[in-house]
A and B are shown apart, each in its own frame.
Chain A
Amino acid sequence: MKTWYKRPFPVLSALVIAAVVFAMVGEKVKAGGEGTITGTVKLNGTAPHMKGIDMSKDPVCSQQHQSKPATMENIMVGANGGIQNVVLYISDGLSAGAASAVPSEEPSFDQKGCMYTPHVMAVDVNQKFKVVTSDQTTHNIHPLPAAGTGNIGWNKSQPPGAPPIETDWKAQEIAIPVKCNIHPWMHGWHVVVKGPYAVTDENGNFTIKNVPAGSYTVTAWQEEYGTQTAKVTVAGGQAAKADFTFKAK
Chain B
Amino acid sequence: MRMWAQSHLCQKQRMFSLLAAAFALAFLIIGTSQSASAIPAFARKYGLRCSACHESWPMLNFFGQKFKDNGYQLMNDRDAPIWQNPGYWPVTFRIIPIWHRVSTAQVATDQSATGEQKITQSGFDLSGLDFHTGGTLDKNISFYVLPSSDATASFHFETVMARLDNIGGSSWFNIKLGKFELDNLLSEKRILTLTGNGGVYQLYHFIPQGDGNIWGQMGDNQLGLEWLGHSANDRTRVSAALLSSNDGQVGLPYGAESYSGFFTASQAFDFGKLGVSRFGAYAMVGEAPTIWLTSGGVGIPGSGTGNKGFSREGFVGQIYFGEHADVTVVTQHGEDSAWFGQGYGDFVDNPVAGTNFLNGYGVTSLPAGSRNPTWNGVLVEPHYVISPQAIILARWETIRMSQQSTPGTASNLGNISTYTVGARFNPFMTPRAGFAYHAEYNWLHQDGTGVVPGTNINTSELLAGFDFDF
Direct interface between A and B, CB < 8 A: no
Interface residues of chain A, those whose CB is within 8 Å of chain B, are none
Interface residues of chain B, those whose CB is within 8 Å of chain A, are none
